[in-house]
Chain A
């Protein structure tokens, strides 16, 4: 069994029982990467030797009667802001290419490999994660496998594109303001942004410390849950990581939604002006029986707070590079970081206060509900090179506004699962966010699983044949 869209759980079972081998899984994935990556541009480094060696090791362990891990023989790949021993952590930048190779793997890679998963390589991303489009001036745009002339979304662009195209059964990404959820939405995947502080970021390149999250992108809720369970656990090396007991989500996945109180985000999240998003939210709300609409007052202010904090913290992080390597930045990220250097400190401190206020409000809301349904992106994947998004009748820059609906929730660290639908307007994927209270990833995963069981949400099985594709030129940056 080496189908490109096989479930993580099926691969692990087949490898664990000897029906398949880790080596055949890796070889199959590498062949597909070799065929399609030149078109999709989603991998920045393929670690064939390492993956093949690890696969032989996993097969030998199983042959020796050792208990296979929950991810035995499952290939995966990571956004190139995760440290991988022996290669340089690019974080999507040309500047970081001059840094020495990482000494050890990021902790989350170590945890996955301890369960038998096999790292295939590093994936494309927007420069320094300040991106929602998947375009990158240095490395070229990462293409969407649903339509290679469209954006994959970002900043975990390679994670979205590779997982959707079957170039890895799952991937890891990061999400500061929506960077797991946006590519999940545009590429038609399930994405989990856990609670802020749930997963340690040890060995990953930061963007905005007080907003950075790591998490998985996968092709089903069951896959997300088993991967998430393997990732959990406290690590004192990340100051933000909470010393919380592991809360396995897989075991609770099939608990159903009968006891869950589910409502729909309204007010700021009303997306009637975006027909693709509105249709997706209505479909999910109907399937979940969610009738109550929540105004969620404070969301716009919460989003504004996240914008300012991101701009300030990100600029502070990169100020030394702005001083020494100014011309080596991607134009779009450089200009935003430069602006961030000039923001008055009082604005950022006010934003922190508003962030707490918005959090307090949402905690009150979660006394009444368990899961909130909200739009993920305002639209399906835009064409590469698109610069403008019409928001309520006003043309605004596309780049920050693809995260219009994701940013308020990550601003206060809430766990969110993005689930994929196909828009009847575009015939392209679009996601819906399922938002849960802090530390209750299991609730949004349960709702995602229930939707999947009903057939309301699912990943498509894409036919991407590189031989039939003539890669169109990228638009001018």
Chain B
């Protein structure tokens, strides 16, 4: 995830109204004085997203895994 096409949060700094639009879509309001802090957290999240997208997953691990359970294995 190296560019804006796959990192939409890069735009959040360039288009001031984008944060408001996203917030409206999500059904929350972001007070103006907190907008930059929220942008900062989104930038961190975007860096984390870049990491998970760059993880060298093997094909067999690409199945969706929305529910986490600890491994049910024996360790002797």
User: Which of A37-45, A99-107, A347-355 is found at the contact surface with chain B?
Assistant: A347-355
Contact B48 A338 (CB under 8 A): no
| Chain B residues, CB < 8 A from A298 | 55
| Chain A residues, CB < 8 A from B42 | 339, 342-343
| Chain B residues, CB < 8 A from A322 | 28
Q: Is A94 an interface residue (CB 8 A)?
A: no
CB distance from A357 to the nearest CB of B (A): 5
CB distance from B50 to the nearest CB of A (A): 8
| Chain A residues, CB < 8 A from B40 | 335, 397
Q: Is B11 an interface residue (CB 8 A)?
A: no
Q: Is A307 an interface residue (CB 8 A)?
A: yes
CB distance from A445 to the nearest CB of B (A): 14
| Chain B residues, CB < 8 A from A437 | 73, 75
What secondary structure prevails in chain A residues at the interface with B? helix
Interface size on A, residues (CB 8 A): 54
Q: B43-76 interface mask toward A, CB cutoff 8 Å, 1 = contact, 0 = none?
A: 0110111011111011001111111111111010
CB distance from B26 to the nearest CB of A (A): 4
| Chain A residues, CB < 8 A from B55 | 298, 301, 354, 357
Complex Cα gap A412–B44 (Å): 21
| Chain A residues, CB < 8 A from B65 | 352-353, 355-356
| Chain B residues, CB < 8 A from A350 | 49, 52-53
Contact B48 A196 (CB under 8 A): no
Interface size on B, residues (CB 8 A): 42
Q: Which of B1-54 contact A (CB under 8 A)?
A: 8, 19, 22-23, 26-31, 34, 37-38, 40-42, 44-45, 47-49, 51-54
Complex Cα gap A400–B73 (Å): 31
Chain B's closest residue to A332 (CB) is B37
User: Which of A226-234, A358-366, A468-476 is found at the contact surface with chain B?
Assistant: A358-366
CB distance from A393 to the nearest CB of B (A): 16
Contact A319 B75 (CB under 8 A): no
Contact A308 B49 (CB under 8 A): yes
| Chain A residues, CB < 8 A from B68 | 196, 210-211, 352, 355-356, 413
| Chain B residues, CB < 8 A from A347 | 45, 49, 52
Complex Cα gap A242–B70 (Å): 9
| Chain A residues, CB < 8 A from B45 | 307-308, 311, 339-340, 343, 347
Contact B61 A338 (CB under 8 A): no
Contact B70 A413 (CB under 8 A): yes
Given contacts A343-B42, A438-B71, 14 further A-B pairs with CB under 8 A are: A298-B55, A304-B51, A308-B48, A311-B45, A319-B28, A335-B38, A338-B23, A349-B66, A350-B52, A351-B49, A351-B52, A352-B67, A352-B68, A357-B61
Interface CB pairs A-B, < 8 A, 5: A242-B70, A300-B51, A351-B52, A356-B68, A363-B71
List A residues at the B interface (Cβ < 8 Å). Answer: 195-197, 210-211, 240, 242, 298, 300-301, 304-305, 307-308, 311, 319, 322-323, 326, 331, 334-336, 338-344, 347, 349-357, 359-360, 363, 366, 370, 397, 400, 412-413, 437-440, 443
List B residues at the A interface (Cβ < 8 Å). Answer: 8, 19, 22-23, 26-31, 34, 37-38, 40-42, 44-45, 47-49, 51-55, 57-58, 61-73, 75
